Each structure stands twice: as structure tokens, then as C-alpha cells.
Amino acid sequence: MTTPLCATADGTTRFATRHGDRCLVLSHRLQQCITHAPQLEEELALANIALDLLGQARVLYSYAADRLGADSTEDDLAFGRAADEFGSPALVEQPNTDFAAVIMRQLLHDVWALEFWTSLTNSTEQLFADVAGKAVKETGYHVRHSSQWVVVLGDSTDAAHRRAQGALDSLWPYVDELFAADATTEQLVANGVIAHPGSLRPKWDVRVDAILADATLQRPVTQSAAIRLGPSPELSTLIDEMQQLPRAFPGARW
């Protein structure tokens, strides 16, 4: 197996891989909820969302793999890279501490993702515009799911409210990273491939504030977490678990 994402990969390839990572890692987190959801209906709902995210990851990885070279595949990108090669935002790596943490992580991500995909429908890169067109519909449903749950949890019993507020407080430091831009991102913005991540913030703020108000939750004032330099322990554990089978049985097929 070649080194899948070499240093020479261009901006759109890096961008596709990074967002493939985001979708795959969050999908895997939701898959970890299977057999642990509070009720059967919710288990199906979480699994459906995980499948939507997995589908988004596959399109982005396939695109990146095509551009990386003839023998590169989506599976190499998903299962052939170490945790420190993943570019997912720390938010989606955060553990499934309890159901409130699962739902709150989803809300903060989903509202961002809806703005992200909506902005990407105008991309000059045709594949990005295509995948965004499909993802906007899927993500619209995800936002409904997570926002309704946050209101149900926040505006109900003391215990549920306390857990929802606790999840919000502990996840809030990872929000700013979603709107940050590095050199790769700035270059893609300059070329008209993507909108500036920072431009998504005002709409995100309005929407999240409205949902938190409905849920009687307090918007935290905590500082953002430092941008990490290496993989978090949570991500390393997740990647180890996710890649266990392809590592033990390289090339395994159904």
C-alpha cells in the first residue's frame, strides 16, 4: 500500500480528504451508539444519520483517491492512514459520554454542516457542488433531528437539562475550529472553490442561539480549545477500533 495522502496532494484533494475524515469519524461515533440508543426508534434514526455521513465520506474519498493516483482507493484513505493523518475537526471526535453528548455534538455539527453544504453548492468544482446538493437534503433532516432532541432534553427534567447543559459546555471549545481557515483553505477560497469558513458563522450563531433559547440552555462563554498539533487520544482509540479488521485481514472482502 502506498502512502495515500502524500505531501504533494493539491488543495482540492486535501479538502476532500479532510471533509471525508470529518464525515467518517462522526459516522463511526454514531455507529458506536448502535445497541446503546435509549430506544429502538432512536437507534434507527442515529444509524440512518451515520449512513448518510458514510455516504458523504465515500464520495469525497473516492474523488481524492482518483486524484492521488491510479492504485489509490477510498478504502486506503479510510483504513490505510494513521490517526495523525486524519484532518477531522476535534468536535466530531469527542466521545459518546452520554446521550446528551451524542445529540449536542450532532447539533453543533449539523447546523454548521447545513451552512457548509449550502455554500458548497456554488462551488466551481463540479463534484463538490454535486455532493453538496445531495448532502443539503440529508443534513436538513439531521438538523431537525438534533435540534428537536436538544429542545426535548433541555426543556424537560432537571437531570436531562443538566446533562444537556454539561454536554454543551464541554463541546463548546471545539466550535471555533469549524470556522477556522488554514493556508490550503485560504487558497481554495481565493480560487472560488469554497466559501470562507468564517462566513458561515453568523448564520450558525443565529440558528444555534434560537435552538438553545427554545431548549432553555445557556450559550457558554468558554474560550475555544487550542488547535491541536497531533491526534487526540480519543481519535487514536477510534481509528484503532475502526481499522482493526482491515489491519488484521488486509484486503478482506465480504
Partner 1 sequence: MTSDGQLFEVFVRARRGVSHVHAGSVHAASAEMALQYGRDLFTRRLEGVSLWVVPAAAVVASQSDGAPALFEPAADKDYRYPAHYQMPDGIEHI
Q: Which residues are near partner 1 by CB under 8 A? A: 38-42, 44-45, 48, 141, 144-145, 148-149, 152
Q: How far is the CB of 51 from partner 1 (least distance, A)?
A: 10
Instruction: Give the SS3 label for residue 116.
Output: helix
Distance of CA 178 to the CA centre of its chain: 9
Q: How far is the CB of 236 from partner 1 (least distance, A)?
A: 32
Q: Under 8 Å CB-to-CB from 25, ≥6 apart: which residues? A: 86, 88, 92, 93, 235, 238
Closer of 49 and 91 to partner 1 (Cβ): 49
Q: Under 8 Å CB-to-CB from 252, ≥6 apart: which residues? A: 245, 246
Instruction: Give the SS3 label for residue 224.
Output: coil
Closer of 153 and 188 to partner 1 (Cβ): 153
Closer of 51 and 189 to partner 1 (Cβ): 51
69 contacts 6 by C-beta, under 8 angstroms: no
- CA gap 123, 120 in Å, rounded: 5
Closer of 16 and 143 to partner 1 (Cβ): 143
Q: How far is the CB of 207 from partner 1 (least distance, A)?
A: 17
60 contacts 23 by C-beta, under 8 angstroms: yes
Closer of 8 and 157 to partner 1 (Cβ): 157
Q: How far is the CB of 167 from partner 1 (least distance, A)?
A: 17
Closer of 117 and 149 to partner 1 (Cβ): 149
- CA gap 213, 125 in Å, rounded: 38
Q: How far is the CB of 204 from partner 1 (least distance, A)?
A: 22
Beta strands (DSSP E) in the chain are: none
Q: How far is the CB of 159 from partner 1 (least distance, A)?
A: 11
The cell for 63 is: 474523488
Q: How far is the CB of 33 from partner 1 (least distance, A)?
A: 14
Closer of 39 and 126 to partner 1 (Cβ): 39
